[in-house]
Each structure stands twice: as C-alpha cells, then as structure tokens.
Chains A and B, each alone.
Chain A
Amino acid sequence: MSPAGNRPGNDGVNADVAVVGAGPAGLAAAVAAAEAGAAVAVVDAGSQPGGQFWRHRPETIVPEPDGRGHHGWRTYVDLRSRFDAARAAGRITYLPGLQVWMAQNYDGGFTLRTTPTVAGVPPRDNGSSVARTVVAPRLVLCPGGYDRQLPVPGWELPGAMAAGGIQAFIKGNAALPGKRFVIAGTGPFLLPVAAGVAEAGGQVLAVLESSSGSAWLPHLRAAAGVPGKALEGAEYASIFARHRIPYRQRSIVTEVLGTNHVTGVRTAKVDSVGRVRPGTERIYQGVDVVGFGWGFTPQMELPLSLGAETRLDADGSLVGVVDEHQQSSVRGLYLAGEVTGVGGASLAVLEGLAAGTAAARGRALSSSKTMWRHRKFAQAMHKAHPIPPSWQEWLTPDTAVCRCEEVTAGQIADARDLLDARDARSLKSFTRAGMGWCQGRVCGFATACLGEGTGNQGAAPSVGSLAGSAKRPLAAPVAIGELTALAEPAETNLQTKKN
C-alpha cells in the first residue's frame, strides 16, 4: 500500500488518542485521556454522548435530562461534565454521527475512516457528521455490543424485537413501540427492559427466563462482591410487584404467533438443558411486542480488523484479550467495555478510565479490586444464565435464521450435513446466511452454533468460527461515491478525477 493512503486529507483530524464510542467505556476513556494531558478525538455513531446504556432524548428537545429510568446517571453526569469541560478546553474533538468503516494500523499508529451514520443528514452546526479521517498513535476502541439473538419460529414478524431495541426505543423517544409486551430470553438485562416498559405505561404480560434462580447458588460469593447489583435487583422486584409482572423461570417462547404482525406467543417450560417439557405449553394472546435478549454480542469487527488477539468468554462470546492496562495484543490499541467481555456499564467505566489513562501515557491505574469484583460478578452471571444447550431443538426446518436473506434452519442443516459446512464462514458462502444488510450481526452467533451441529449438548462455536462470522472488512456500509477519493494519492486530491 502506498503510505499516501494513510495520511489524512484536508478532512483529517490528528490526535494523541482516538476513542471510538461515547457510551460508558468511551466517555470514561476520553475523559481520562484528556485529563492526563492528551489531545483526544472521539468518534461516535450516536448524535449525543451516552451510548446505548445512557441513551436519552435529544438534548435539543430536553436540554437537562433528569435521568429517570437510568442507572448510574450520577456517573454519567459526572463524566459528561468533565467531557464537556475538556471539549471547551480544546482537549477533546468530538465527532458524533459518524461510523468507522475502516480502521488501519501503520507504523505504530492508527487511521480511522468514517462515514455519516445516516446518509443524507445535513452537516450539523458543530461541523460534524461530515466524513472525517482520524489519525492517532494510540486508539481506544469502546464499540459496545448488541443483543444476542436466537432464532425461534415466527421471530421474523414485525413486533418481534431485541430486548435492547425496546429499551433504546423508550430511552430515545420517551414512547413505547407497542402496548402489550412479553420479554423473553435469559439474564438480568430482561429485568430493566421489562421495568422500563412498565414504568413507561406498557403492560408486560410476562418475563420468561430460560434459566432458574437456583443457577445462581454456586455463584453467591461473586454476587455478594457487588452489593450494588443486589440493590438494583431489589428495585426491579419492587417495580415487578407494583405492576404485577409475572416472572417465569425455566420458561421460553417456542413460537411467535401472527400473520402480518405479532399477535401472541406460544411458551413452554424447559428443563435444565433447555428441552421443552411436554404438556407445559401455553399461549399468550393479544401481544404486540415480544422482546428477546440472550445476552450480548460484543462488536468485534474493528478489533479483528486490526489483528487483536481474541478468546472465548464465559458466555461463549468472542472478545478481545487485554493486559492489566486494557492494552490488546496490538501495541497502542486499547479495548474497553463489552469488547473485552460483557460485564455491564460500571465495569465498562472502570475499564474506560484505565484504558484512557494508559493510552494517554498517564500514570497507569493498576487494575482495581472493584474492577476485579465486577469481572467475577460478570462471569458468575454468564454461568448462571447460559444459552440453553438444547436451543437448536426449538427450531423447525422452516424457521428463519438469517432474516435479511431469508435463510432457514433447514437450509443451514443441509449445507452442514451435505456440503461439510461446519463453520459460520462456509455456511455464509453456501447459504447466504449473514450476507445481507446486517452482515451477520443478528444471526452470526446462531449460525455458528448451527454449524457445530446439535450434538449432545450443542457444542459452542469455536473462536475460529465466530471470528470468521465477525470479520467485516467494511465495518459499516459506505457510499461508493465516498470511496472514489481513496484512489487519489493525498497530494493530488485536489486534481480533477477524470482519467
């Protein structure tokens, strides 16, 4: 490659530390790096800081949000005021409304190429949302994650949403995407989603948790190490009681019902490995939104594209390997938040602070006891709320797995059994699962599981299969017109493009 391809053009931003993401980890990293004296550039897909966790209504409409329905809002307010102060002091260049479509490393530094999150949005007053190229010797990636989904018959119907999608809808719009809800899947995250729906005036017919409370018993010590989580739990219990929300353990949705839109769900009780217990089926009618959450999938395309070493976390997710200062296997590349292991916002903030400080060459924060306790808690949570090993038995051959390309479980099983497609990459080649608009972000994990086959306990996908599915050479869609400028060496950028 010509070195010219790596230089920022007229649109370039140079910084000591580049941060991708402005959620809990990204905000903390940016603040820590700026306060340690670095010039920081923050690229974020959102139009205002907060990320998914602290998503709030547009500040142009609600200038001083009160944080109702949020957790750790005081932490957000503190980080935000320090973020704003650093911006005012010229230490942070904030680039909202931009997605990184490609990250490259060269000569010990990094280049981020960006594109506006929503095409056609006019440039904002602060000059952002115009594609910019960011160049920095050190990079902190805090891209977060998205809801992990498992296919189930009927989940392609409108009204079937990711649990986090429901929460984001409420936080971003102060409105509900429907009236009568069922929330299903596994993990503590189902609780705030259901509570948020109820507090916003929606009716939650049931929360279905595939695991059971007793699964926590072996992990009580880890849970006790993070007392804040117990308080949160008590708060949800009170909201559930107030709104009379049934919380059903060892229960799953076996089918989403409806023709043009969700109208109901069929549910069943399951045993400890997720097998449906005959005779326990039940139908909920009059449901217009069903939300699914099976934990989270970290957004790994940028760490992978830069060559960061990965591993499998306790929840079966592909995550980046980091040292005690959050540095990845790639020198100068730091990771914080869900990409190092799904662990929630409090842990993400601690990791962000450590990564930002280290990236700014500040006084290294040693890995704190609090961080260690949060990590223990996260591992315990993952073990108590696993993906049920027998989930593949819930599918019928007609069940859509890849909704973008309409690929069914039967087609995937055929490719696996007849064509030796045992990893996500081969399945994608042969069936088009994961080739559509979302590029496998929704179905990648499930497809990788299906490639391993049903086996006795449903073998977990390997690092190789998950990495094959999570590698996205374009980390975000980008207009071909935006790419044409890359053909020009930097010094001839101003010349006419005619050949």
Chain B
Amino acid sequence: MTPASDVLVIGAGVIGAATAYFATQQGLTVTVLDKGLPASGTSSSCEGNILVSDKELGPELELTRYSLGVWHNDLAEYKKLWEFEAKGGIIVASRESSLASLHRVMSAQSGYGVDVEELDREALREAEPHISPEALGGASYREDCQVQPMLVAAHLVRLARQAGARFVADAPVTGFLRDGDRVTGVSSPRGDFSAGAVVNCTGTWAGELAAMAGVSVPVLPRRGFVMVTEPLPPMVHHKVYAAEYIDNVGSSDAGLQASPVVEGTPSGTILIGSTRERVGFDRTVSTEALGLLARNAVSLFPFLERIKAIRHYHGFRPYCPDHLPVIGHDDRAPGLWHAAGHEGAGIGLSAGTGKLLAQALAGQSPDLDLTPFAPARFGEEFSGASTTVTEHTEEATA
C-alpha cells in the first residue's frame, strides 16, 4: 500500500488531468492512475474544441462560459504549450429555413451574453473566401477556440506532477477499497492506492468503473469519425460548421448523423468532422461515415473535392441521456466522485470542470452550482445502461 493521498484521480485524459492539476493548486495531495498512458482515450481522438456556439442555453452554457474564463485566466500562461488558438467559429446556413433557425438561436444566445455577430453573404465571404457559393449567410462566434487536446492532458499531468502529484501509468483499476459503505481507494496491478476521495474521470468508461463501485452512472459511447487532409496553405480560417450541427449535438437518435464541420489547423491540415452514431464500442471503419464526411465537407468548401485525405480517426464521446456531464460527489458511495460524460465538449469544459471539482474536493463551495450535474440524478431507470458497455481494452487509434 502506497501512502494515502487526499485525492486519487482515475484517468489521465483531459478531465482527469485538469482535476489533478487544480487539486494540487488547492494544496491537496494527488495521485493519478491511468490504465495506459496520458491522453490515450477520447482526448486523443477528438478535435480539441472549446466552443460556445453549439451550447444549449442552461447549465451547459453556464459551465462553458465559466470554463472559458479558466482557460483565459487561470491557464493563460500555458496557452502556447497546447497550441491554444482563438480562431473563432462560424456557423453557415445554406437554406432559407436553416438561416431562419440560426437567427432565432443567435438572438437567444445574445440574451445570455454570448458574443455572436450576424454575417451576411459578403461578410461571410470576407471571413471565409472559399465557402460554397450556395452559403446564404452565417453567424460569427469570436469566443470559440481550439487547443491540441493531447498536449493539454499531457502538460496538465506534468504541471500537476511539478506541484507534487504522482502519476502511475499502466494501472487499470481492478476493484475498490471500502471501509463499510465508504470508498477509500482502488486496487490495480500496480498496487493498492488509498485516498480520501476517489475521482472517476474515465470518460467513456465511467459507467463501468462506477458499476465496479456498485453505483449506476449512465455514461455511454457515441462514435465519431474525423478525417484529416494533406497539409495545405491556409484555406479555412475559422471553425466552420453548418447550422444543422447544433441539432445533431443534442440528438439522441442512434443512427448515423453527420453535418459538416471543417477547420484549418496550425500545421496546415484541415480537419473534417464529424459523425455521431451510437454503435457501442464498434471500431469497424464505416465507409458510409467517411462518405458522409466527404460529401458534407465538399458542400461547405467545394475546393476540398480535389484535396486528398491522408488519415482518419475515430473516438467515443462519453455522453449521458440528458447530454449533461456528471460532476460531483456520489452520495450513494461516500468518498467516490465523478467527472465524466462531457460528450463532444470535454476538452472545452475540462478546465472549468477541474477547477470547480477541486474547489468542492477542498471543501469549498464551488464558483458554480454543481447540482444540475449531480451523478445520482438519473435514478434507477438507467441502472442497466452501463452493463452493456463491456469492451474497453483496445487502444484508440489516432
């Protein structure tokens, strides 16, 4: 048995890394375990978005805005380490009907203080000269940013270690240590680790870990494919997506959905996202998904038709039935905390999640009320959900 920590973080993805980092900033002693290496799950197979533009009004938008502040203030000095880029997002409407819905969304968002500006045909072309001639207009979101997510997770783990945290790789959790009802630590092939608080930051695998502790947390995987082009001179300057994307994000439809999300990166490659489908942990490459990505990308930026794709990757977004994450203490298993289920927004929400959770772990009242994210909010109706998630050993491909 190693010496007990105040906080034991399970999972060195971006959520676990942020939680560990901010816990050290609270003066807590921290140990981080990962079943593999840092950023080897969903954090390494996403696009690194920090988006305001696609959020539903309510608790998610509040957490987003809080998190944005953490990125810009608490973590300001590290921006370069993870290629923080305030590139801005643009939503494009190509049909009169979607333009009308976009206008409705914009005015609602403005009411909540979101920085959004309408783009008419000309303004849109000035911002994105290669946009399709069919695009009617759009909305510009200057607060939307992007980071290199693997570097965020890896550097936050490094910064946490610098502040005294301990990181243990290749340590999958095999069971929980208990004292009566209370969770007091975990066992793993690398030994037993005890702690005052165990934080489940295992993303897509959070339901399974929770089940090991005897509680139900309905986090499920939603697969997404992203395609990457050959490096090009700058052709796409913002994160550009179609108005239908917003509907897709909130959808619970199990079938394959895709709406165009196209963005340039500092290295010159263009990322083309993204599909959403509920197929469990199926890693079979779907030609249909690749075809949809290609077709939608060309509809936004016709020049892409002649550009070569050089790779694609897929990941599994962890989502909850109400599309809100679980963040906070699990009253059903004292000592166990969760921070998972951020779906496609985990990178952006990680900074805020980590800071708020660290405040709560330190016994403070968090800056933002975490009640809407309470892990026990689903009741027993979803208790069977996590048991369908069994395959988890294979490494994600990037």
Contact = CB atoms under 8 A, between A and B. Distances in A.
B260 to A, nearest CB: 11
Contacts of B294: 480-481, 483-484, 486-487
B398 to A, nearest CB: 6
Interface in B279-311: 284-288, 290-295, 297-299, 304-311
A419 B267 contact: no
Contacts of A2: 288
A486 B40 contact: no
Given A429-B150, A439-B311, A480 B229 contact: yes
B229 to A, nearest CB: 7
Contacts of A423: 37
Interface in B134-159: 150-151, 154-155, 157-158
B249 interface: no
A432 B291 CA distance: 26
A420 B167 contact: yes
A318 interface: no
B298 A480 contact: yes
B291 A480 contact: no
A478 B151 contact: no
B39 A429 contact: yes
Interface in B205-238: 227, 229-231
Contacts of A499: 299
B386 interface: no
B44 interface: yes
**Dominant secondary structure of chain B at its interface with chain A:** mixed
Classify chain A: how many residues form its interface, as a range: 35 or more
Contacts of A104: 284-285, 287
A430 to B, nearest CB: 6
A486 B291 contact: yes
A422 B151 CA distance: 14
A467 to B, nearest CB: 9
A6 B231 CA distance: 30
A468 interface: yes
Contacts of A479: 305-309
Interface in A421-460: 421-423, 425-426, 428-430, 432, 435-437, 439
A481 B306 contact: yes
A488 B291 CA distance: 8
Interface residues of B, number: 47
A486 B308 contact: no
Contact of B398 (A5, A429, A464, A474): A429
A5 B286 contact: yes
B397 interface: yes
B38 interface: yes
Contacts of A305: 285
A313 interface: no
A487 B287 CA distance: 7
B158 A473 contact: no
B169 interface: yes
B395 interface: yes
A478 B157 contact: no
B313 interface: yes
Interface of B: 37-40, 44, 150-151, 154-155, 157-158, 167, 169, 227, 229-231, 267, 269, 272, 284-288, 290-295, 297-299, 304-313, 395, 397-398
26 contacts: A1-B284, A5-B286, A5-B288, A104-B285, A305-B285, A419-B154, A425-B40, A426-B37, A426-B150, A429-B44, A432-B267, A437-B231, A473-B397, A478-B308, A479-B309, A480-B272, A480-B307, A480-B309, A481-B298, A483-B227, A483-B291, A485-B291, A486-B288, A486-B294, A487-B292, A499-B299
